[in-house]
Amino acid sequence: MSAIDPRIASAIQNRLKGIREWMAEDAPYSTADQRHLDSNAPERAYWHFGYVTALSDILKLAEQFSSLKHHNGDT
């Protein structure tokens, strides 16, 4: 397995930082409530939606950097 491209890792870390800052300011209760663990809770559906969105974002980032790498002739 190859290592993650440092540019992708940096982009992900920047997104994480922004989300963590938002959560700390606007939704500090979310780390304690954990309602996404309750069966049939709306929070569970939103959690899964967010997770799918995050995975899609990561794949898009990887594709963008791979395309740039290929276009620039990097190996």
Provide the pLDDT for residue 1: 46
pLDDT in tens, 18-73: 999 999 999 999 889 999 999 999 999 999 999 999 999 989 988 887 777 666 66
Provide the pLDDT for residue 69: 67
Provide the pLDDT for residue 61: 86
User: From CA 62, how far away is CA 42, in angstroms rounded?
Assistant: 31
Provide the pLDDT for residue 42: 95
Provide the pLDDT for residue 65: 77
Residue 27 phi, psi dihedral angles, 5° rounding: -145, 55
pLDDT at 74 over 70: no
Residue 62 CB contacts under 8 Å (≥ 6 apart), including other chains: 5, 8
Residue 6 CB contacts under 8 Å (≥ 6 apart), including other chains: none
